[in-house]
Amino acid sequence: MDVALLLARLLLAVVFAVAGVAKLADRAGSGRAVAEFGVPTPLATPLGVLLPLAELAVAAALIPTSTAWWGAVGALVLLLLFAVGIGANLARGRKPDCHCFGQLHSEPAGWKTLARNGVLAALAGFVVWRGYGGAGPSAVGWLTNLSTAQAAGLVVGLAVLGAVAAQWWLLLHLLRQNGRLLLRVQALEWGAPSSGGVADRPAAGLPIGEVAPDFELPGLNGGMLTVGSLRAAEKPAMLLFTDPDCGPCTAMLPDIRRWQKAHAEDLTIALVSRGTVEENRAKATEHGLRGIFLQKDWEVSEAYGVDSTPSAVLVLSDGTIGSPVLEGEEGVKALLAYAISEGKRMPTYPGSRQGELHPAPGDDGAAPAGPEGPRVGEPAPQIELPDLGGETVALADFRGEKTLVLLWDPGCGFCREMLPDLKEWEANPPEGAPNLFVVSAGTVEANKEMGLSSPVVLDGEQFPAGRAFGADGTPSAVLVDERGRIASELAVGLQAVLELTRAQQEARA
């Protein structure tokens, strides 16, 4: 019995210690998790700190015999509170993120979480039931009373358990890795064109033509978003599912701001987000976004068959589904290109080249139309824009030398990924390399932080200079010759832009 009590205390101590340390390492996430369980926002942040401190106190109290019973009482109280919170949310049909072990392990709270808490509560109740003086032996005293053979057996047993645990951990990660590889192979297979020229990947989301599920979501600045309000606008709407903690979503926000302004007359772009009002308002203010609406958990995402962010789906003006769910930055851009075009077929999932768009060809074999730029041999657009110091710089200033015009956005994830290569090209330009002229979106501060030595000028909010070159996304690039004429096709996407710069290096080698 004493050994069972000691093992129960040690297991509880380890669980609470790991949970407390992990939550303290991610205090912001802990505060959000508390808020998602229904705690008022002003209390969520301090509770996000007090809760892990209480867990650490319980873990420490469970070790010594003198405080073990009180530690078990504290563990039982916390576990029962957790169970009540989880049960109340499950009864309302909600599954908030439990954030039980911080960033080490977090999942939507469900019956599995409730069952795990029940087992731990039973262990804590067992220790409490034994009474104040019967919480079992001291861990240190028990170890010192073991004989040499018993101590050796304990060490061997712990080593075996550790080896088994490590084996299972490696097996689990191997299975996950194999799963990711299988999904990647499947994605590549889906991306291969069929005999009809359209990818054979099964469409995600709801069937096209089905009535869009209704919902009622509050906006950050008042107002409600419903399918009825979308129909009242008498134009299609792109529901863009995001999350304030999603890195790719954040990287897309400058693009979304530009899309909302450039296509406001033809398309409603509404962001369906989650998280707290404060988090989303900070993102909206930083990037000048509008049309952000908050779902409580994942209820609207689940209704539309969305299981990742960023993702997007088109709702037509008659309130029916107008597209499959397209995932990732490339998928969202492909859907946007389709939504603002005319007479084009539905886009499929983007191809394998990072940063490029591969929507399905239309009936005439062409991709959905973006802004039309000048062709090779035609004069380049006359660009005159302020640089980071406020001085006007014109593309004509580079007449007489080849110039690589790079269309850029410091908030673009692919641009940031390309930045080290770009700096290396600036630091060690090959002989005869073209001048680099960066036409960028964003603020002066954001562009200065990039640390580029080449001229950087600021485009307008609707990216007019970029669109004049035929670009509807970043990074993009085009070569302008010594006479000020277009000397290459527009390179769109990370890989295409890098290939264009390398081609110029090889041409001069």
Greater confidence, 4 or 151?
Answer: 4
Three-state SS string over 417-458 comes to HHHHHHHHHHHCCCCCCCEEEEEECCCHHHHHHHCCCCCEEE
CA dist 107 and 101 (Å) reads 9
Torsions phi, psi for 464 (to 5 deg): -65, -40
489: CB partners within 8 A, 6+ apart: 376, 478
Asked if 273 and 293 touch (Cβ cutoff 8 Å), the reply is: yes
pLDDT in tens, 473-506: 677 889 999 999 999 888 877 677 777 776 655 5
Greater confidence, 349 or 146?
Answer: 146
Residues 103-125 have a mean pLDDT of: 77
Asked if 239 and 303 touch (Cβ cutoff 8 Å), the reply is: no
pLDDT in tens, 430-480: 777 888 999 988 788 888 888 899 999 998 766 788 888 887 667 788 999
Cα 40 to the center of its chain, rounded Å: 26
DSSP 3-state assignment of 486? strand
Greater confidence, 70 or 357?
Answer: 70
Q: Kind of pairing, strands 237-241 and 292-294?
A: unpaired
Give the pLDDT band of residue 356 (cuts 50, 70, 90): very low
Greater confidence, 496 or 115?
Answer: 115
On whether the pTM is more than 0.75, the answer is: no
Domains in the chain (CATH in brackets) are 2-145 (no CATH), 217-339 (3.40.30.10), 384-508 (3.40.30.10)
Residues 397-405 have a mean pLDDT of: 90
What token pair was written down for 376?
């090779």
Q: Crossing angle, helix 41-62 and helix 2-25, to 10 degrees?
A: 140
pLDDT at 400 > cutoff 80:
yes
Greater confidence, 353 or 111?
Answer: 111
Count of CB atoms within 10 A of residue 286's CB? 14
Asked if 30 and 102 touch (Cβ cutoff 8 Å), the reply is: yes
Q: Is 185 exposed, middle or buried (0-12, 13-18, 19+ CB in 10 A)?
A: exposed
CA dist 205 and 215 (Å) reads 16
Residues 352-368 have a mean pLDDT of: 35
337: CB partners within 8 A, 6+ apart: 347, 357, 359, 367, 368, 369, 370, 472
165-169 contact pairs (CB < 8 A, 24+): none
pLDDT in tens, 7-36: 788 888 888 888 888 888 777 667 767 776
Bridge partners, residue 326, by sequence: 312
Q: What is the pLDDT of residue 313?
A: 92
Greater confidence, 128 or 502?
Answer: 128
- Closest to 415 in 3D by CA, of 494, 307, 339, 302: 494
Asked if 121 and 83 touch (Cβ cutoff 8 Å), the reply is: yes
pLDDT in tens, 170-194: 665 565 455 545 544 544 443 433 3
- Closest to 68 in 3D by CA, of 144, 134, 11, 2: 134
Asked if 4 and 122 touch (Cβ cutoff 8 Å), the reply is: no
**Average pLDDT of the chain?**
76
Three-state SS string over 289-305 comes to CCCEEECCCCHHHHHCC
CA dist 330 and 412 (Å) reads 12
Asked if 495 and 353 touch (Cβ cutoff 8 Å), the reply is: yes
pLDDT at 358 > cutoff 70:
no
Give the pLDDT band of residue 410 (cuts 50, 70, 90): confident
Greater confidence, 45 or 391?
Answer: 391
End-to-end CA distance of the chain: 80
- Percent of residues, the chain, with pLDDT higher than 90: 8
Alpha helices in 238-292 (DSSP H): 247-262, 277-287
Count of CB atoms within 10 A of residue 484's CB? 17
Greater confidence, 456 or 165?
Answer: 456
Q: What is the pLDDT of residue 405?
A: 92
pLDDT at 350 > cutoff 70:
no
Bridge partners, residue 478, by sequence: 405
Q: What is the pLDDT of residue 437?
A: 93
Greater confidence, 475 or 157?
Answer: 475
Q: What is the pLDDT of residue 324?
A: 86
CA dist 190 and 348 (Å) reads 10
